[in-house]
Structure 1
Amino acid sequence: MNGRILLVLLVFMLITGGCSGQTHEEAVVKAETEKSRVVYTEIQIPVIKDFMPRLNYVPRSNIQTHVVLHFISNAATNPENPYIYEDIRAVFVNYDVSPHYMIDREGKIYYLLPETRAARHAGKGELPGYPEYKDDLNDYSIGIELMAIGTEAEMGTMISADAYKQIPQEHIGYTEAQYQSLNLLLEDILARNKKILRNREHIIGHNEYAPERKSDPGSLFDWSKLNLEGD
């Protein structure tokens, strides 16, 4: 009888103790999924929902005040065809990073993480005027990747000069379709996030936060094509 009681107690301890971390995280993910449904239904523009693995990201604890723009490609591995969506998504999964949104060359918007999650996109850095954001911009921002490639100098830490020369010219820089979709996406994001203002203080490039590490969105990105206040 005592052995049976001990067995029951052991099973109970395993369920509530040894597995509690995983159970708690699964509960958090479930709750965040419910929140994300609300966010998703509020999006007023066409997007392709393709959420990243959820257990790799933490619930956001602060209010979004910024949007951070990046460029992304798979030029290091496939310079002649650097914009295959599945390849780029695999890079995010393999390196355990992700933006909230990504815009391809034709202007399609991929919705990769709900805005209720603090996406891993900004990393370490500092933002002038916001000392409390040091190494913590992920928790205050929404990340947008654009499939694009910068100048040879800007890509120098990612690919060799020989590989850069193999990239077709039409893959360098940004497309008009991307600017159009980015403006639509920003308008939609700002309608939901009142702390993000439509100006260059609140909509920034990754290079402004981490200039020693990052060059994106780079000198080929035309900020004048965004419908920002004061421009």
Structure 2
Amino acid sequence: MTIDDHWLAEARRVPSPNANARPDGEISAVVLHGISLPPGEFGGEAIERLFTNTLDPAAHPAFEPIAALRVSAHLLIRRDGEIVQFVPFDRRAWHAGRSRWCDAGRWREGLNDFTIGIELEGTDETPYREAQYRALAGVIRTLYQHYPDIDGDRLTGHAHIAPLRKTDPGGAFDWAYLQRCLTSRG
């Protein structure tokens, strides 16, 4: 995989307005998320519509309370491994919300400022697919190469940085398998 002007060349681009400048330009960690819209359903346009502020609140009962949210992620990895990019990596996507993380012995807040947010289409309870792990591993290896401040110790889940608010990517996400994928080139 390659990155050109902070866009992943292999990703389909769907620009989101829900981004702004990083305050210090720092890109030094990755946060993994899980998402499905409607909850528990996969496929369709709802995630892209949420991240582009075009989600119809009347299209599903679950959409009404979230349609006005202004959120985004840098990437979405769909169930079949397709990668969609919403925000260039040098911009701050609005994915982590209120967040806190112990970074090299000091607590940092506001992780949107320095992280890349990757959403995986899934739920806390539904196993993620092989195609997603392979795509994710390829993305992470590429990010490690392109942004040298990101390394294996700087990869975390939304649940780890906002534990009282979030549970994703959930118990169904296999962190050990992701590590095996990262070390394998197959």
Structure 2 partner of 1:68? 31
Normalising by the residue count of structure 1, what TM-score does the alignment of the two structures yield? 0.65
In the TM superposition, what is the alpha-carbon distance from 1:191 to its structure 2 partner?
1.1
Structure 1: gaps spanning 5 or more residues: 1-35, 152-171
Question: 1:145-186, CA deviations, whole angstroms, 9 ceiling, x for partnerless residues?
Answer: 0000113xxxxxxxxxxxxxxxxxxxx220000000000010
Mapped pair 1:206 → 2:165? no
What displacement does 1:195 show? Answer: 0.3
Aligned to 2:59: none
CA RMSD of aligned residues (A): 2.1
1:181 correspondence with 2:135: yes
Is the aligned partner of 1:221 residue 2:184? no
Q: Distance in 2 between matches of 1:72 and 1:206?
A: 11
Q: Within 5 Å, which residues of 2 pair with 1:161-172?
A: 172=126
**Runs of 4+ more than 6 Å apart:** none
Task: For residue 141 of structure 1, report the CA deviation from its aligned partner.
Answer: 0.1
The one of 5, 9, 16 aligned to 1:52 = 16
Tell me the CA shift for residue 85 of structure 1: 4.0
Q: CA deviation at 1:194?
A: 0.4
Q: Higher relative contact order by CA 8 Å / sep ≥ 6: 1 or 2? A: 2
The letter of the residue matching 2:78 is D
1:126 equivalent in structure 2: 100
- Deviations, residues 24-55 of structure 1 (Å, cap 9, x unaligned): xxxxxxxxxxxx96223xx4x521111112xx
CA distance in 2, matches of 1:189, 1:224: 19
Instruction: Say if 1:85 and 1:187 are closer, same or farther in 2 by CA, change over 3 A.
Output: farther
Structure 1 residue 116, shift from structure 2 partner: 1.4
Partner of 1:106: helix, strand, or coil?
coil
Q: Which has the larger radius of gyration?
A: 1
Q: Gaps spanning 5+ residues in structure 2: where?
A: 54-66
* Counterpart Cα distance in 1 of 2:6 and 2:116: 13
Percent same amino acid at aligned positions?
A: 33
Letter of the structure 2 residue corresponding to residue 47 of structure 1: A
Q: d(CA) in 1 for partners of 2:10 and 2:19?
A: 24
Task: Give the Cα separation in 1 of the matches to 2:36 and 2:179.
Answer: 25
Q: Which residue matches 1:39?
A: 6
Instruction: Give yes or no for the alignment of 1:90 onto 2:49.
Output: yes
Number of aligned positions between the proteins: 163
Pick aligned residue for 1:139 from 113, 120, 124: 113
Q: How does 1:102-117 map to 2 (within 5 A)?
A: 102-117=76-91
| CA distance in structure 1 between the aligned counterparts of 2:42 and 2:75, rounded to whole angstroms | 15
* Higher normalized helix content (fraction of residues): 1
- Name the stretch that deviates more: 124-133 or 114-123: 124-133
TM-aligned CA deviation for residue 91 of structure 1: 2.2
